[in-house]
Amino acid sequence: MQGGKLEFDDIQHILLTRAPAITGRYEFLSFRNAAGGRAWLSAILEKVHSAAAVRASVGKDKRWVSVAFTWNGLRALGVDDTSLATFPEEFKQGMVARAEILGDSGANHPKNWVDNTASPDLHAIVILFAKDPTERGRCQSEHKKLIAHCEGVEVLSTLDLEAVPPLAYPHDHFGYRDRLSEPAIEGSGDEPRPGFGGSVKAGEFILGYPDEEGSIPPLPRPEVLSRNGSYMAYRRLQEHVGAFRDFLRQHGETPEQQELVAAKLMGRWRSGAPLVLAPHKDDPELGADMQRTNNFNYKEMDPHGYAVPLGAHIRRMNPRDTAANMNRRRMIRRGAPYGPHLPEGTPEDGKERGIAAFVICASLVRQFEFAQNVWINDKNFHELGNERDPIIGNQDGTLEYKIPMRPIRKKITGLPAFTTLRGGAYFFLPGLKALRYLASLGTPR
Amino acid sequence: MSDTPKQHDWTKPAAMAIPKGGFFADKVEQGRYGPIFPKTPACYGFTIIAKIKPGSEETVRSYGKKIEETIAGLPEALEVLQLHYLRWVLFDINKETYFMYQGIFDTDFDKYTEDAVALFSKYGINTVFENLEGFPEDWKTNAPAFVKFVREHQCPSFLEYGEYPYVSAREIKKALKLKAAFSDALDQMQ
C-alpha cells in the first residue's frame, strides 16, 4: 500500500503525540549478539504504544515507551547488507561522522561526549516517559530484569529526565517556555495554529506518505521496515545556567533590562510572548495563548530586526516568510529537561543540567542537518558576518551578537557558550510492524 | 558552516589561484553533500559543462527566451539562489554540442541545494537539465543524485578575480539603495 491515510495504529506514538509526563529516562543499548537483541526487542515491543493507542487511553496510562535504532543497531539485529545499503547516506554515517557539518567542533566535539553515544557500539535507545517518579522507578527495574534475561544486551548509559519547576508550564533550565512551535501534520487531526502557514504533508515526517513535493521519495527497503518509520536526531545539550544568568546581569542593570536581554537572545520573552507582538514589555498571557503566540511574520512586521534580532534563536530556527520552502524544513521536537533545577539566586553548582531532545523528520540531511549547518551555525546567516545561534550555536567566545536598536545597534562581542553538546546520535524510529519484522529476523519464515 | 572571511577590503582588487581539483587541500570544508568549493574574490560559483542529448539544441536554446519572460514577470523568481550573474553557453566540440551553465553567487551551493532543486522545478529550468546526458531522471525527489550530477560536471576555476572582492549582491543593492536615499535627501534639502 502506498500513501493513503495515516496508519495511527502502526506509527510510534512519539511521532504524533506528546505524553503528559513529568519524568522519564533514556537507556542507550548495545547488542553483543543478534539473538539477544531480538529477544530484547520481542519483549519490549509489547510495551511500545502506537499513536492510536495513546490517543485512546492517554488519561489512564502512566508510562509511554518508544524504541529506535542506529544504522549499526539495525545491522546488529541482523538486517542484511542489501537492505542496509538502501538507508540514506547521512544515517549510515551517523552523527559522529557528520560532526563538522553539524558544527559539533571544539567543546561540542564527539570526543568530549559523556554518555558513550559516540561509540559505534551504540545500537538502540529506549525512551521512557512516565507520569511520576514512582512509575519511572517501577519501569526502570522491570527493564533491568528484562535485560538480565537477554544475553549480550548491554546498557551503555542512561539519563534521567526531570521537568523543571514550576510544573505549571513546560520550560527549560534557562526559564524559556518550551513547546511553542509544533507543525500540524496533514491528516493527523491536529489543526494548524495561526501563523504556521497551514499544515504540513505527512511525508515530511513519516516514511511512506507523500511529502511537500507531492510524491513519495525513495525509501529504505523492504517496505515493511521503512513504512510508518522516521528518523530522529538525538541531542543532549547541557545548559550553563550560571553563565547565562551572569551574562544577563552583566548586560542589564535592572531585572526588567535583564529580561529584555534574555528576550533578545531568544526572540521571545521567557514567558513565550514573541517580541514581534510584544516588543517592549512582556505579555505572559500572549505567551501562553497558542492561538496568538505564533501569529506573526518578519518580512512586513519586523524586516530589520528591531523587535527580534536577525540572529535570534527563533528567527534562525523558523525564518517564517524570510526563507524559501519552509515546509520542507519543518521538524518535530520531543524530549525533556534533565538534571537538577538551579533556583534563581543560587550560585552555579557545577552539576550538569540541560535538555535531551529529539528532532524527528523524514530526511536528516534536508531537515535536521540543514538547520544545524545553515540556520544555527552559518556565521553569515542573514549577512550577519560573525554570529551563530546565541542559544544553541557553536560558541567559542570569539563571535558577536547584534541587537538592532534606534539610533545605533547594540553589539555584544565575545558571546559566551550557554550550551554544550554532551551526546548525540542518529536513530531510525520504526513503525510497530517494522519492530515485529526486526524481532523476527533470523527465524525461519 | 562557512567560515566567512573577515572583513575584506573591497577597495583592493584581488585574484586567487586555485589548485587543480578546485580545493585547498589543507582547508577543505565539509558540506552536507560533500566538500565545499572555496569562496574566492569572485564569491562562490560554478561552471557546469555537460553534453546535450543529440537534437535537443533548439529546445535548450529556446529556454533562454522563456527565462527572460519568467524574470520579466517575476523579478524575484531566482532570489533564493543569491546570484550575481548567470551565463548560459552552447558550443560544439567535434560535432557534439555542449551546454555550459556558469553562475556566480553568494552562498556555497551546498547550503541551499534543495531550495535550488525546488526552484528549478517550479520555473521549469529542469527542461534544460533534462536535455543533458546523464542527468538523473528522479532528480526532483532525489536531491543527492542531483548534487552528484552537478559535482561530476563542475569544472573548477584555476583563477578567479574580483575588482571589488567578496562583496555580496545584497551589499551592492544596499549600497545603491543608500545612495539613492541619500541623493533624495539632498534633493529635499534644496
For residue A44, pLDDT beyond 50: yes
How would residue A3 be classed by pLDDT, with cut points 50, 70 and 90? Answer: low
How would residue B6 be classed by pLDDT, with cut points 50, 70 and 90? Answer: low
Percent of chain B's residues with pLDDT above 90: 67
Strand partners, A30: A154
| Test the B interface: residue of A2, A219, A373 with most B CBs within 10 Å | A373
Summarised one tens digit per residue, pLDDT across range B62-105 is 999 999 999 999 999 998 889 999 999 999 999 999 999 999 99
Q: Which of A261-275, B28-42, B128-142 has the lowest mean pLDDT?
A: B128-142
| Owner of C-alpha cell 577543505 | B28
Strand A400-403 to B44-51 pairing:
unpaired
pTM of the model: 0.95
CA separation for the pair B127, B131 (Å, rounded): 7
How would residue B7 be classed by pLDDT, with cut points 50, 70 and 90? Answer: low
Residue A174: what pLDDT? 98
CB A171 within 8 A of CB A177: yes
How buried is residue A90: exposed, middle or buried, by Cβ count under 10 Å (0-12/13-18/19+)? buried
- Cα distances from A281 to residues A107, A251, A277, A287, in angstroms, run 36, 17, 10, 12
For residue A261, pLDDT beyond 50: yes
Distance from CA of A377 to the nearest CA of B (A): 6
The mean pLDDT value for A115-137 works out to 97
Contact assignment for B31 to A378 by CB distance below 8 Å = no
For residue B2, pLDDT beyond 80: no
How would residue B4 be classed by pLDDT, with cut points 50, 70 and 90? Answer: very low
Summarised one tens digit per residue, pLDDT across range B100-154 is 999 999 988 888 888 888 888 888 777 788 999 999 988 877 778 888 899 999 9
How would residue A184 be classed by pLDDT, with cut points 50, 70 and 90? Answer: very high
Domains and CATH numbers, chain B: 14-188 (3.30.70.1090)
For residue A290, pLDDT beyond 70: yes
- What backbone phi and psi angles, to 5 degrees, belong to B183? -70, -30
How many CA atoms within 13 Å lie on the side-chain side of A163? 20
The mean pLDDT value for A102-126 works out to 98
Contacts with A380 from chain B: Cβ below 8 Å: 2, 4
Distance from CA of A167 to the nearest CA of B (A): 37
Domain residue ranges in chain A: 13-236+425-439
Contact assignment for B143 to A366 by CB distance below 8 Å = yes
Summarised one tens digit per residue, pLDDT across range A340-349 is 999 999 999 9
Contact assignment for B144 to A218 by CB distance below 8 Å = no
For residue B190, pLDDT beyond 90: no
- Better-scored residue on pLDDT, A84 or A217: A84
How buried is residue A267: exposed, middle or buried, by Cβ count under 10 Å (0-12/13-18/19+)? buried
A97 vs B: CB within 8 A:
no
Residue A444: what pLDDT? 65
Instruction: Report the range out of A183-192, A306-315, B124-133 with the highest average pLDDT.
Output: A306-315
Residue B1: what pLDDT? 40
Strand partners, A24: A129, A161
Percent of chain B's residues with pLDDT above 70: 96
